[in-house]
């Protein structure tokens, strides 16, 4: 396998493994076994486990923003863009569930490790900038409320998307009060609607 393809394969397998087991629960030995390689081959691509985890965070962040760009491509109508941003976004839709779970795993580890914290901050900053820029356009065209700043609404979107993914993705424990299915897109639509 070419080095580029092998690296892509390792990132994909590692993302799934970290999302399921967490940073401390996943081992490089298990990753190598799942990829059908030896650990020395794994270390040709990544210096150590932390390097691999940060690469997975970076890759997941790029996938999420790329997913939004793809969902919005070719849409000019503000309501269609808003709908695509909310309902078809990679954080709540099936395509983004894997990458987003990695980000949630990284957020759990961030307080213990400055390198992980920096990687998570970089991702959330990029995600915030992307959403704020989109909200500016939607506000200009009257599709999103303008009594809040784009930055505040972008933060709201990020917080709700993370919370919705945590609840529906099985990260947060279920209680009798937890709804069976949270529909983040419907909640966000109501919060963002222009008055």
pLDDT, averaged per 10 consecutive residues of the chain (195 residues), comes to: 91 92 93 95 95 94 87 89 70 54 84 92 93 92 88 85 54 45 59 66
In terms of residue numbers, what domain contains 90?
A: 3-192
Question: What is the reported pTM?
Answer: 0.80
Domain count within the chain: 1
- CATH (domain of 84): 1.10.357.10
**Cα–Cα distance, 99 to 35 (Å, whole number):** 18
Q: Are 49 and 22 in contact (CB under 8 A)?
A: no
Q: Measure the CA–CA gap between 157 and 143, rounded to whole angstroms.
A: 15
149 and 128 Cβ atoms separated by less than 8 Å: no
Q: Are 185 and 172 in contact (CB under 8 A)?
A: no
Question: How far apart (Å, rounded) are the C-alpha atoms in residues 65 and 59?
Answer: 10
């Amino acid at each position: 396998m070419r080095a580029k393809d092998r690296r892509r394969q390792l990132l994909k397998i590692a993302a799934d493994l970290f999302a399921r087991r967490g940073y401390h629960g996943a081992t490089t030995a298990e990753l190598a076994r799942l990829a059908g390689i030896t650990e020395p081959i794994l270390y040709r691509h990544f210096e150590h486990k932390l390097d691999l985890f940060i690469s997975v965070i970076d890759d997941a962040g790029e996938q999420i923003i790329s997913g939004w760009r793809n969902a919005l491509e070719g849409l000019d109508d503000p309501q269609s863009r808003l709908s695509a941003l909310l309902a078809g976004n990679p954080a709540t839709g099936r395509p983004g569930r894997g990458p987003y779970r990695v980000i949630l795993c990284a957020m759990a580890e961030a307080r213990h490790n400055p390198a992980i914290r920096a990687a998570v901050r970089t991702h959330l900053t990029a995600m915030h900038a992307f959403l704020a820029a989109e909200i500016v356009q939607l506000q200009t065209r009257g599709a999103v409320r303008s009594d809040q700043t784009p930055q505040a609404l972008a933060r709201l979107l990020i917080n709700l998307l993370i919370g919705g993914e945590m609840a529906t993705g099985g990260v947060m424990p279920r209680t009798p009060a937890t709804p069976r299915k949270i529909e983040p897109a419907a909640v966000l639509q109501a919060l963002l609607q222009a008055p």
